[in-house]
Chain A
Amino acid sequence: MAWLSRRDKRPTEELSREFLATVFVHWEGLYRYALRLTGSPDQAEDLVQEALTKAFTAYERLREDTRHRAWVFTILRNTFLSKTRKSGREAPLDDAELVPDLGADPVDDVVVRAEDGFRHGFEDEVLEALQALPEAHRTAVVLCDVEGLSYDEIAVVLECPIGTVRSRIHHARRRLRQTLAGYATARGYDDVEHAG
């Protein structure tokens, strides 16, 4: 019974207005991140909706110094992980997994083509390579490179120290380079002059 609680007594209209300005405003980034987590547009939309529901319910109890963007991304991730655990789908993250670093050269062709407008469709390879990452690595790279969150914010979402965020991003990029190098080789790009 809400009237007996000590919750915030702010009018709903004011609460909604604040929620839209501080949390809902990140809806696009939430959707993109949800898409990277689920791989399905329908599931991503459901996930975002569920996260916003939880966020709205908890919103009036937030501390004033809460970082809303990191907070709502955390809700979304935890909702995804909870569903995944129940269904037993996602493989556990192996932080100790080492990826041999082939160095910069083999993948430069692919990456150069990617930033040149994707005439060869390398954006699909990049997204596929992202999906192949373990969830925590994928989350770190996506939140950093696609959504622009700081390492500090990513640490909030991943519920880990900043040093772990740095390590995960480092290893994730090494793995991405390895994967994308494989795509370049498969397409027969041996050197820059013959690519494209």
Chain B
Amino acid sequence: MSNTRDDSLRAHLSALVDGELEPLEAIALTRHVRQSPDLEADRQSLERLKLAVHLAGRQEVAPVGLETRLRAHVGGLASAREAARSRVGWLVPGLALVATAALVATVVLTSLGPSAPSALPVVADGGRDAIVGRGARVDLGVPELEELVRAYRLEDSPMALRDLRDAGALDGNPDILPAGLLPAAPESTVVPVAYTRCNERETGSLIAKIRLDRVNLAPEIANALEGDGYFVTRIDGVDVRLTSSEDRLVVLIVPPPELNEPI
């Protein structure tokens, strides 16, 4: 015949069997169990049940070859990760974000205010190729342009610049811009810059040239560029303008006027 005390302690027997009671709890409950034949029988029954469940669960073996298949699957995941990292390394030059210590980038300062610095005039013509790139074809669409803007704003890692340099994507001083690419402005400055971080407060606009044979343009961009056309979009308040010049894609990022500052 069970008593009330035994019943209240019975709920803790499983934890005692599993070794999950605090030390003092375990000592106290063990003492009670020794003094109660009912509790002791219950404890032993729980131990046998635990063992039965353990043995029944463990007797099921995994199918032959399962470990091998799972290892191969994980290996595939690792390969995919590595391939994605390599592809991204080629994609960076395609977007041409910023220059580091080993790079020379051309920065276009668009000054719309009265304190515009004196600078070299911009000469825009049909374009002159400037960048020698290398790498596999990479996709270039609005999502990639959004990434470009985030890096431009330093909202993402500027490590892309190192990848640009390693991939040999930037070359020389592309200071000749295709006609019509720059927004209308009283003065524009093309300044060859070295060791430039991608920071709109330091550099104003950013221009980059990408080999067209290295990118897969999204349909809306390709359609807009036909016949010397332009693709213009605004991302997070930043104008992104694209056009093609011979075998190059020219990308210009123009920040809002209030953020323009002379170097």
- A residues bordering B, Cβ < 8 Å? 1-6, 12-13, 15-16, 19-20, 24, 27-28, 31-32, 35-36, 41, 45, 48-49, 52-53, 56-57, 101, 103-105, 107-108, 111-112, 114-115, 118, 122-124, 126-127, 130, 141-142, 144-147, 150-151, 166-167, 169-170, 173, 176-177, 180
B42-50, B112-120, B224-232, B238-246: which lies at the interface: B42-50
List 9 tightest A-B contacts by C-beta distance, closest first: A146-B57, A104-B45, A114-B52, A126-B56, A4-B156, A3-B88, A111-B48, A123-B56, A145-B53
Q: A111 with B49: in contact, given A4-B147, A4-B156, A31-B66 (CB under 8 Å)? A: yes
The contact size tier of chain B is 35 or more
CA distance in complex: A2, B73 (Å): 21
Is B156's CB under 8 angstroms from A35's CB?
A: no
| B-chain residues with CB within 8 Å of residue A32 when the two chains form the complex | 57-58, 60, 62
The reply on B89 being an interface residue by CB < 8 A is: yes
Is B70's CB under 8 angstroms from A57's CB?
A: no
Is A3's CB under 8 angstroms from B157's CB?
A: yes
Interface of B is mostly: helix
B78-86, B102-110, B199-207, B211-219: which lies at the interface: B78-86
Is A104's CB under 8 angstroms from B74's CB?
A: no
Is B156's CB under 8 angstroms from A150's CB?
A: no
Is A104's CB under 8 angstroms from B53's CB?
A: no
B10-18, B121-129, B173-181, B255-263: which lies at the interface: B10-18
